[in-house]
Amino acid sequence: MKKTLALLAALLSAAALFAQEPQQNEQPQQQAAPAPMPPHRRPQLMPGQYLGFSGQTSVTPQGSYTPDFKIDGSNAKIKNVILLIGDGMGLGAVTSAMFANGNELTMTNLQTIGFVRTQSVSDFTTDSAASGTAWATGHKTNNGYVGMGPDGEKLTNIPEAIAPYGYVSGVVSTDGLAGATPAAFYAHQSARGESAAIWGDIPGCTLIFLAAGSKKEFDTLPLSTQDAIKGQYTVLSEPDADAFANADKICYTAVNVGNGRGDWLPATTQTAIDFLKARTKKGFFLMVEGAHIDHEAHANKATLVQETLDFDKAVEAAVRFAEKDGHTLVLVSADHETGAVVVRKGNFEENSVEMTFASRGHSPMMVPLFAYGPGSKQFARVQENSDVSNMIRKILIGK
């Protein structure tokens, strides 16, 4: 017994000695994690830092549209491509809007679904400028760059590439015209914040229809820039049926596309489709952006549901046209996810949903892609945003 006690004492002494300081090639033992900080003592977080904020909203259901799928995935000739980009619209935004809207959206009624990776050259988590440029040009670039490569070279966007073949193009956005996503389809600047320079690229671009919420900004531009744009486009600040019917090129700088804009996005999407179709026999490309999904997610507001529903009405306008036309491919996706949105619970009877935001910034999560029309099945995979752009170009002009 004495021998056993002596041996035990020796072992304990040795353990205590070795525990005092780790050896040179050993790692110290990890300390236990501190207890969670009470909510009232948590520090204020800067944009992009993680938190755990929940939001709840309920909506009046707007229904959805389900097309027939006779042309979906067919080998019919594709004359037109409509790309709809929900800014910041990840799976959380789509799911929350779907649940709140009676478990249905036009985009989720479609049968072809893929996923898109969004990383930029400079950052694991992209911004709208780099992702918009990848969607527009088929090339990845640095965050902050609009229509420019990482080495500062101008990149050819889809409207520029297809114009020599007789195609016409347009953009519609609930952002301003100098916003990163619409700008990527006509401008070439290495700083997304250089709004005046981005506006200065409009007179020389190939777009024939531009529409976004830009009246106030347009009015503050240098007169030389305003005059250059007016020299190329019929400039409107309100809908004008006569101009939409007769003008060769439209720059529609709408007064209000923020809160209270009504059906501006779906209505203007339809106007753009009609305008472009009437001015070409070859075909057209149209990009439509729902920008305020991102705005609400950055603010951690559950009203991103209403913004996603508004965007879905624009998707419906595009799908209805494609179904009737028979030669139009519709693609619905996002430039990136914002808010790291997770749906916590909902109530179908009350058309309500509750979600948690894990971030006030963008996240690197893949975003969904929904497709409808001839050739849609080739997008039912995991792909880069730049891959989708290059496929659009190949579909329309073969390269």
Q: What one-character-per-residue DSSP string does 11-55 give?
A: HHHHHHHHHHS--TTSPPPPPPPPPPPPGGGPPP--TT-EEEEEE
- C-beta atoms surrounding 219 within 10 Å: 10
Separation of first and last alpha carbons in the chain:
87
For 217-264, write each residue's pLDDT tens digit: 999 999 999 999 999 999 999 999 999 999 999 999 998 888 889 999
Per-residue pLDDT tens digits for 253-296: 998 888 889 999 999 999 999 999 999 999 999 999 999 999 99
Q: How many helices (H) and strands (E) does the chain have?
A: 14, 15
99 CB-near residues (< 8 Å, 6+ apart): 343, 346, 348, 353
Q: Provide, rounded to the nearest whole percent, the portion of the chain with pLDDT above 90.
A: 84
- pLDDT of the residue at 55: 87
DSSP three-state, residue 249: coil
For residue 133 the two structure tokens come to 């440029």
| pTM as predicted | 0.87
Q: Which of 135, 133, 81 has its CA nearest to residue 285?
A: 81
